[in-house]
Amino acid sequence: MKYDLKKILIVHLGGMGDVLLSGPAIRALRIAYPSAEISMLVTSKVVPVVENMRLADKMFVFDMCYGGVVPLAKVFRNVKAILELRRMRFDAAINMRTLVSCAGAMKVAFLLGIIRPKIRAGRDTEKRGWFFTLKASEGDLGTKYEADLDIETVGLLGAEAADKRPFLDIPQKDTEYIDAKFMELGIAGDDLLVVIHIGGMYSRRWPIENFAGLINRLNAGFSCKVMVLAGPGEKGLLERLSRLAAGGYITPDTDLDFCQLAALIKRSGLFISNDTGPMHVAAILKTPQVAIFGPGDLTRFDPRNISERAVVAIKKSPCAPCNKEKCSDMECLKALSVEDVFGAAEGLLRSR
């Protein structure tokens, strides 16, 4: 059923990968309501991703601080954004994320209570979405791919996705930037480049000493060049790696923005990463990849759903999946050995 909607708000406070997987659903909403003004409320770290999609008319930033206190300046910016959204008088607001806890559900309810849209749509995770007027039922454990759940959610407003494939666009200027960066770093066009991203949410990071061992095994087993990346605020991981690995890898000398990162991943012969945003970029671009999974919900976020060139390295653990941001024992990731991940990488490299 479609509604008379002139102003729609999408509340999406997820990370890079979450927003990328929502792309088909947001596109379906745009097609269903071509004349509506669509606004998005997102975290600051995904602004470049939303800009790349080119589907939102307006974008508002809500600063999150996971596991800590939000600085006062950001609190004021958040309040200003919410009050501006209230003044816009939306016909509908749709929350695109799972309600992982009662506390999280109360925060979304409070947020929508201030904004006051006429229709409140979202996922009724384990009946926590009592405040939604239109609800899509789901459980804590995933039974479907995340992109399909997002499509079901916008379906509450009558939107249908003809194309369910996540997407991103790499501007030519960013491809040229990476070409120039490769020349600076001595990477030739016929070099086999293995890119390893060692960052991500703390609870989803494979041990850094294992990455060091993996780099040594790759250099010993293949004539390749290894490049190591980390995300914003993760330079400490690179410093730790430099003390553990016996050289044999390079790192960019500057931070990469979203489109530059995508261009680099597209040029890679193999991409290896934790369960994090760049993993989904590699899957969308069909770059051969090894995705290292620990506590993440594989059913929801398995890159093999959209890429036949993805391999998942995972060991079953009685405590996984979980939503912990930090973990004291990291049992699920420590169970994965260097040889487990190297074996997955070796299979992809030898099939080239």
Model pLDDT, residue 69? 67
Q: What's the rounded Cα separation, in Å, for the pair 276 and 281?
A: 9
CATH value at residue 139:
3.40.50.2000
Q: Is residue 228 part of a domain?
A: yes
Band of residue 192 on the pLDDT scale cut at 50, 70, 90: very high
Model pLDDT, residue 66? 55
Tell me, yes or no, whether 70 and 201 share the same domain: no
Tokens at residue 15, please?
A: 């990370």
Tell me, yes or no, whether 68 and 113 share the same domain: yes
Q: Is residue 214 part of a domain?
A: yes
Q: Domain boundary at 155, 189, 219, which?
A: 155
Tell me, yes or no, whether 151 and 203 share the same domain: no
Model pLDDT, residue 183? 95
Q: What's the rounded Cα separation, in Å, for the pair 352 and 344?
A: 13
Model pLDDT, residue 277? 97
Tokens at residue 58, please?
A: 């307006």
Model pLDDT, residue 187? 95
Band of residue 228 on the pLDDT scale cut at 50, 70, 90: very high
Q: What's the rounded Cα separation, in Å, for the pair 103 and 107?
A: 6
* H-run or E-run covering 4: none
For residue 261, count other CB atoms closer than 10 A to its CB: 24
Asked if the bond preceding 295 is cis, omega within 30° of 0, the reply is no
Tell me, yes or no, whether 254 and 334 share the same domain: yes
Q: Which domain holds residue 108?
A: 7-155
Q: What's the rounded Cα separation, in Å, for the pair 199 and 234?
A: 7
Give the count of domains, the chain. Answer: 2
Report whether 49 contacts 22 (CB < 8 A).
Answer: no
Average pLDDT of 270-299?
97
Tell me, yes or no, whether 138 and 182 share the same domain: no
Model pLDDT, residue 71? 78
Beta-ladder partners of 273: 197, 291
Tell me, yes or no, whether 131 and 255 share the same domain: no
The 7-12 sheet, strands edge to edge: 58-61, 37-42, 7-12, 92-95, 119-125, 134-138
Pair type for strands 289-292 and 58-61 = unpaired
User: What's the gap between Cα 56 and its chain centre?
Assistant: 18
Model pLDDT, residue 203? 92
Report whether 151 contacts 25 (CB < 8 A).
Answer: yes
Quick one: what percent of the chain has pLDDT higher than 90? Answer: 87
Q: Is residue 263 part of a domain?
A: yes
At 52, give phi and psi (nearest 5°). -65, -35
pLDDT at 245 over 90: no
Q: What's the rounded Cα separation, in Å, for the pair 216 and 245?
A: 7
Q: Which of 238, 254, 246 is nearest to 197 (CA)?
A: 238
Band of residue 325 on the pLDDT scale cut at 50, 70, 90: confident
Q: Is residue 136 part of a domain?
A: yes
Beta-ladder partners of 93: 9, 120
Band of residue 99 on the pLDDT scale cut at 50, 70, 90: very high
| pLDDT tens readout for residues 29-78 | 999 999 999 999 999 999 999 999 999 999 999 987 655 666 788 888 99
Model pLDDT, residue 75? 85
- Exposed/middle/buried for residue 24 (C-beta within 10 Å: 0-12, 13-18, 19+): buried
Q: Domain boundary at 124, 155, 186, which?
A: 155
Average pLDDT of 128-157?
95
Band of residue 318 on the pLDDT scale cut at 50, 70, 90: confident
pLDDT at 19 over 60: yes
Tell me, yes or no, whether 204 and 343 share the same domain: yes
Q: Is residue 162 part of a domain?
A: no
Report whether 146 contacts 136 (CB < 8 A).
Answer: no
Q: Is residue 250 part of a domain?
A: yes
pLDDT at 272 over 80: yes
Tell me, yes or no, whether 91 and 132 share the same domain: yes
Asked if the bond preceding 321 is cis, omega within 30° of 0, the reply is yes
Q: Domain boundary at 155, 183, 212, which?
A: 155
DSSP calls for 295-330: SS-HHHH-GGGT-TTEEEE----TT-S---SS-SS-
Report whether 309 contacts 234 (CB < 8 A).
Answer: no
Q: Which of 50, 126, 110, 101 is nearest to 78 (CA)?
A: 110
Q: What's the mean pLDDT when you consider all of the chain?
A: 94
Quick one: what percent of the chain has pLDDT higher than 70? Answer: 98
Q: Is residue 227 part of a domain?
A: yes
Tell me, yes or no, whether 137 and 18 share the same domain: yes
Tell me, yes or no, whether 146 and 188 share the same domain: no
Tell me, yes or no, whether 89 and 42 share the same domain: yes
Report whether 64 contacts 43 (CB < 8 A).
Answer: yes
Model pLDDT, residue 188? 94
In this structure, the chain runs to a length of 352
User: What's the gap between Cα 179 and its chain centre?
Assistant: 25
Report whether 204 contacts 277 (CB < 8 A).
Answer: no
Average pLDDT of 96-121?
96
Amino acid 231 reads G
Tell me, yes or no, whether 238 and 344 share the same domain: yes
Report whether 298 contacts 37 (CB < 8 A).
Answer: no
Band of residue 322 on the pLDDT scale cut at 50, 70, 90: confident
How large is the C-alpha radius of gyration of the chain?
A: 21
pLDDT at 253 over 60: yes
Model pLDDT, residue 68? 60
Model pLDDT, residue 149? 96
Report whether 185 contacts 250 (CB < 8 A).
Answer: yes
Q: Is residue 163 part of a domain?
A: no
Model pLDDT, residue 246? 77
